[in-house]
Amino acid sequence: MQKNREQWNSKIGFILAASGSAIGLGNIWKFPYIAGENGGAAFIFIYLICIAIIGLPVLIGEILLGRTTQRNPVGAFRKLSNSSFWASIGGLGVLAGFIILSFYTVVAGWSLGYIFEAISGVFYDFNKIESAGIHFQTLTNNVTWIVGFTAAFLLLTMAIVYAGVQKGIERGSKIMMPLLFVILIILMIKGLTMPGAEKGVAFLLEPNWDNVTGETVLLALGHAFFTLSLGMGAMMTYGSYMKQSNSIMSSSLQIIFLDTIIALIAGVAIFTAVFATGQNPSEGPGLIFLTLPVVFTKMTGGYIFSILFFLLLSIAALTSSISLLEVVIAYFVDEKKWDRKKAVLIFGGVTFLVALPSALSFNLIKDVTFFGLNYFDIADYLASNILLPFGGLFISIFIAWIWGFDKVFIELKKGSESLFEKHIWVINAWKVFIKYFAPVLIFLVLLSKLGILDVIFK
């Protein structure tokens, strides 16, 4: 083990930091709108299955790789395999971290900016979604606004990572995560007590199977990766600061539980309010920034709830973006022996440069497209639909087929001794999932994302 490498101070610190990474824009911005567009409950049902049969096994595997090697993704693969091929798979994770940061900080910047919009009371002028849409466009067309809030959000991210694993990430998560839970529960209670809320609940509970297609299944699987921060080494990096005596099995279950329950609560809070105010649930990515401001104007106490909501969204995004930046920083600290503070300053700056074209995709370089997609869309597509599943595929192949289960079990057993003694079937089930289910299903997703399945089945 490296000398003086940082560690989490407590098990709960790790769980809060890792669930902070998982719970983010994916849960509160993406999940409700994808569910809204894909038939509500039916999508959610498929998504839950994906989380259970692929998300959980890969999450356990990623944390295990990190805890065993006490390294960043590149170092972890190199240490266990001694091969530059596998080290470069870790390198793809570091690259994916940058790419996700480049669009994530922009959406997070909108969210930060919308806290101030909410405070200014401007939402009161919106009685229709069109006026909210025009306002959103005016803001995102404004280069100073969009670049300014992207930079402000990035500076917050850098400040936390700069302070270190315990003093920055762990301490920040211990403050922000409970705040996030409290705000979300307040919003859910508000949503549920609005007249007409039952239509929103029904939308989330009554499946409409007519809307489900093969594409829905793939979308659910891709989203399972994104929401659990899998496939690029974020969980591996957080796992690398974990003590050997903490159980990976129980921690993973807790992280998955928190991530899933938060997405569902966010869905309840949002859809009850959307239905109670007579708005359209399938508005797409604009659900949060266009539909919700109109919803807030139509509810009692909307002023306070709108501020709370965008604060919640910003906190969720911040606890995720710190994990994205930490992957990059851990690589430079472990492998290149850089000082953490220097790495944060330099790579925070580099992140700003890569985020700039994402921010400008809404104004100055709106018309610069490649295959019909602008820079922002390409970054999102490349990371979420290609790099993360690709990373997840290789992580599961590595664990099941390269590392060897005899060694895997020795590591996994640390901290989970009683599970191995009393419920070995759980471990055996995990083995089957990581060995067969995960690689095969992820492979199918990748093929379909690349459009190859369409060609075959046409």
Q: Which residue is nearest to ligand PFF (CB)?
A: 26
The residue (of 77 and 126) whose beta carbon lies closer to ligand PFF is 77
Indicate whether 281 belongs to the interface with ligand PFF (CB under 6 A): no
3-state secondary structure of 373: strand
The residue (of 13 and 302) whose beta carbon lies closer to ligand PFF is 13
Count CB neighbours of 372 within 10 A.
6
Count CB neighbours of 379 within 10 A.
24
In angstroms, the CA 439 to CA 399 distance is 11
Concatenating the DSSP letter of every residue in 188-215 gives HHHHHTSTTHHHHHHHHHS--GGG--HH
In angstroms, the CA 105 to CA 352 distance is 9
Concatenating the DSSP letter of every residue in 115-143 gives HHHHHHTGGGG-SSHHHHHHHHHHHHH-H
Indicate whether 246 belongs to the interface with ligand PFF (CB under 6 A): no
Among 68, 72, 227, 254, binds ligand PFF (CB under 6 A): 227
Site size for ligand PFF (CB under 6 A) = 15
Compute the least distance from the CB of residue 22 to ligand PFF, in Å: 5
Among 324, 330, 379, 427, binds ligand PFF (CB under 6 A): 324
Compute the least distance from the CB of residue 24 to ligand PFF, in Å: 2
Among 323, 358, 374, 448, binds ligand PFF (CB under 6 A): 323
Among 246, 279, 314, 320, binds ligand PFF (CB under 6 A): 320
Q: Which stretch binds ligand PFF (CB under 6 A): 19-27, 151-159, 204-212, 289-297?
A: 19-27
Q: Which stretch binds ligand PFF (CB under 6 A): 6-14, 21-29, 40-48, 392-400?
A: 21-29
Indicate whether 229 belongs to the interface with ligand PFF (CB under 6 A): yes
- Distance set, CA 177 to CA 40, 127, 290, 316, 317 (Å): 27, 33, 26, 8, 11
Which phi-psi region, left, alpha or beta, contains residue 233 (left: φ > 0; alpha: ψ -120 to 50)?
left
Of 69-128, binders to ligand PFF (CB under 6 A) are 100
- The token pair that represents 377 in the structure block: 């869309």
Q: What angle do CA 208, 200, 39 make, to 5 degrees?
A: 25
Q: Which stretch binds ligand PFF (CB under 6 A): 133-141, 189-197, 316-324, 357-365?
A: 316-324
Q: What does residue 370 show for φ and ψ, rounded to 5 degrees?
A: -135, 120
Compute the least distance from the CB of residue 396 to ligand PFF, in Å: 17
- The token pair that represents 258 in the structure block: 């928190």
The residue (of 27 and 361) whose beta carbon lies closer to ligand PFF is 27
Give the residues lining the site for ligand PFF (CB under 6 A): 21-22, 24-27, 100, 226-227, 229, 232, 234, 320, 323-324
